[in-house]
């Protein structure tokens, strides 16, 4: 074999070997995987109060805590999966789920209101349609200071969960409070410091309820 043929054969073998290395090397996309789509959770706070949200990933257990200031909108990217969440706003607590494999939006309306621009769009949650706020006027018709504890709403299937509200009424005092509509267990304390009464009341719009120490 002459020198020219030998050199050509060597170059050919090297070229084939180099091509085999190139074809065997993984591409950048294969090495790092296909980039996942980043999904967004947009929280639009139209109320006058701060919104607090706790998110827990259903698959990964990832935990996120976010706040949204009054009259502001923020975008979060906690992850691409379903999330259980707890939202607190307008003296109410909502526990539900949100599917963040696609973009979602939560709108927190003015306390006691629902609907409005954008609330009917697909992938949008209107918290005002879940929690229905009502005013209740409480009157202490007696001569002693009382402490009223309201627990509820009871058996609320919309997503709002039971909470506890404490009201202090001095003698012959009338006060109006805003809480979620529904049935509540009430407990009366203090009075003569040795009495206890309880019952239920259904809070609806402009409800008026009188109490008196026994």
Report pLDDT for 24: 42
Q: How confident is the model at residue 66 (pLDDT cuts 50, 70, 90)?
A: very high
Sign of CA dihedral 104, 100, 75, 180: positive
How deeply is 16 buried, as exposed, middle or buried, from its count of CB atoms within 10 A (0-12, 13-18, 19+)?
exposed
86-129 pLDDT, tens digit each: 999 888 889 899 999 999 999 999 887 888 999 999 999 999 88
Q: Which domains does the chain have, with CATH numbers?
A: 41-130 (2.60.40), 133-211 (2.60.40.1120)
Q: What is the pLDDT of residues 203-212, one digit of tens each?
A: 988 899 999 9
pLDDT at 113: 84
pLDDT score, position 207:
92
Which whole number is the average pLDDT over 171-191? 93
| Averaged pLDDT of the chain | 84
Which residues, at least 6 apart from 140, have a Cβ–Cβ distance to it below 8 Å? 146, 169, 170, 171, 172, 173, 174, 210, 211, 212
C-alpha dihedral (57, 41, 97, 126), degrees to nearest 10: 160
**How far is residue 33 from each of residues 23, 28, 57, 82, measured CA to CA in Å?**
18, 8, 22, 21
């Amino acid at each position: 074999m002459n020198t020219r043929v030998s050199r050509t054969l060597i170059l050919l073998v090297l070229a084939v070997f180099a091509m085999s290395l190139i074809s065997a090397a993984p591409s950048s996309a294969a090495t790092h995987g296909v980039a996942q789509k980043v999904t967004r959770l947009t929280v639009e706070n139209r109320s006058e109060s701060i919104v607090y949200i706790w998110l827990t990933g259903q698959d990964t257990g990832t935990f996120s805590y976010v706040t949204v200031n009054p009259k502001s909108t923020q975008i979060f990217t906690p992850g691409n999966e379903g999330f259980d969440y707890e939202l607190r706003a307008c003296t109410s607590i909502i526990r539900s789920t949100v599917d963040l494999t696609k973009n979602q939006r939560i709108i927190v309306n003015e306390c006691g209101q629902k609907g409005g621009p954008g609330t009917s769009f697909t992938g949008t949650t209107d918290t005002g349609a879940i929690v229905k706020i009502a005013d209740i006027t409480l009157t202490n018709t007696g001569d002693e200071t009382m402490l009223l504890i309201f627990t509820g709403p009871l058996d609320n299937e919309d997503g709002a969960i039971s909470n506890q509200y404490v009201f202090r009424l001095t003698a012959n005092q009338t006060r109006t409070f805003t809480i979620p509509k529904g049935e509540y267990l009430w407990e009366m304390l203090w009075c003569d410091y040795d009495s206890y009464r309880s019952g239920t009341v259904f809070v609806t719009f402009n409800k008026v309820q009188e109490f008196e120490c026994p």
